[in-house]
């Protein structure tokens, strides 16, 4: 079954590449609708990938981008968790701060770039700031929603057995809210990854976002497409390899899947 799924994925990917090549050939050669330099093609993307990989540009870009993403995401977890706990503990903040967080979360991450540049300059801290502002609020909402969605029967049963308030959180509420929290981390990572690209496009001197903009400045559409595909693939790998596995493990442990 596992090998069958892998084979299906490979066939699907090959089919997409062939369809991509067909559209490129039809648009640039058969019907001359677009110019060849304006549309990426599979062979050009492969050549661009090999060129970026051979001179070390790609490795450096991925390394710096991942480092920034991990640092910013870890800070977001701390800040978002604290905000979520404050909202849970104080009804005044729940009534007034939560609507603000919901509103701020709708802002595109690139909106924070001017603030980051003005406050931190063209430094690493500016990119980290954009990442934090892009993901911390979604994590805060995940913490608040996860605790609020704990079945009341769990809490009532624990109170009946005389569980102390500290153990109530440690042994009942937090374990029950863990699947929702992991799901929130998964969403927060996706926001952090997108925010990272917004920050790197504007102020980085190395990274995937910077490499993307270099391709734009050089009118190298294949390099632009190469970087875009790498960004997507890294996002999928991290999501499937870390967050989805953790989420499925927790759900299996609780007999929910």
* pLDDT digits 0-9 by tens, 46-72: 999 999 999 889 999 999 999 999 999
What share of the chain has pLDDT > 70, as a percent? Answer: 97
pLDDT digits (tens, 9 = 90+) for 70-92: 999 999 999 999 999 899 888 88
Q: Which residue matches tokens 């062979």?
A: 43
Query: What average pLDDT score do residues 98-114 get?
Result: 88
pLDDT digits (tens, 9 = 90+) for 30-50: 888 888 888 999 999 999 999
Distance CA 107, CA 156 (A): 39
**Residue 162 confidence (pLDDT):** 80
Distance CA 23, CA 38 (A): 13
Structure tokens belonging to residue 35: 């110019």
Burial tier of 62 (Cβ tally within 10 Å: 0-12, 13-18, 19+): middle
Distance CA 217, CA 213 (A): 6
Structure tokens belonging to residue 91: 């009804």
Distance CA 237, CA 198 (A): 20
**Residue 184 confidence (pLDDT):** 85
pLDDT digits (tens, 9 = 90+) for 153-187: 887 888 888 877 778 777 788 888 888 888 888 88
Q: Which pTM value belongs to this model?
A: 0.87
Distance CA 218, CA 206 (A): 16
Going by C-alpha positions, the residue among 136, 133, 139, 137 that lies closest to residue 198 is 133
What is the signed CA dihedral for 195, 198, 202, 207, rounded to 10 degrees? 80
Q: Which of 159-168, 225-234, 235-244 has the lowest mean pLDDT?
A: 159-168
DSSP label of 140: H
Apex 204 CA angle, 114 and 58, nearest 5? 145
């Amino acid at each position: 079954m596992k090998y069958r799924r892998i084979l299906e994925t490979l066939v699907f990917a090959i089919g997409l590449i062939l369809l991509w090549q067909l559209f490129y050939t039809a648009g640039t050669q058969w019907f001359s609708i677009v110019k060849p330099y304006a549309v990426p093609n599979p062979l050009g993307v492969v050549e661009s990938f090999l060129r970026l990989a051979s001179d070390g540009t790609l490795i450096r870009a991925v390394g710096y981008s991942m480092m920034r993403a991990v640092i910013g995401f870890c800070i977001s977890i701390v800040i978002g968790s604290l905000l979520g706990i404050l909202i849970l503990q104080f009804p005044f903040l729940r009534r007034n701060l939560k609507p603000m967080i919901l509103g701020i979360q709708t802002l595109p991450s690139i909106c924070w770039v001017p603030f980051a540049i003005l406050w931190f300059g063209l430094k690493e801290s500016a990119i980290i700031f954009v990442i934090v502002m892009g993901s911390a609020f979604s994590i805060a909402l995940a913490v608040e929603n996860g605790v609020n969605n704990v079945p009341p029967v769990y809490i009532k049963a624990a109170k009946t057995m005389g569980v102390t308030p500290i153990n109530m959180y440690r042994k009942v509420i937090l374990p029950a809210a863990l699947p929702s929290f992991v799901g929130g981390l998964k969403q927060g990572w996706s926001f952090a990854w997108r925010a990272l690209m917004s920050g790197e496009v504007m102020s980085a001197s190395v990274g995937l976002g910077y490499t993307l903009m270099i391709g734009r400045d050089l009118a190298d559409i294949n390099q632009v497409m190469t970087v875009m595909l790498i960004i997507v693939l890294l996002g999928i790998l991290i999501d499937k390899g870390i967050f989805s596995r953790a989420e499925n493990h927790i759900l299996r442990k609780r007999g929910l899947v």
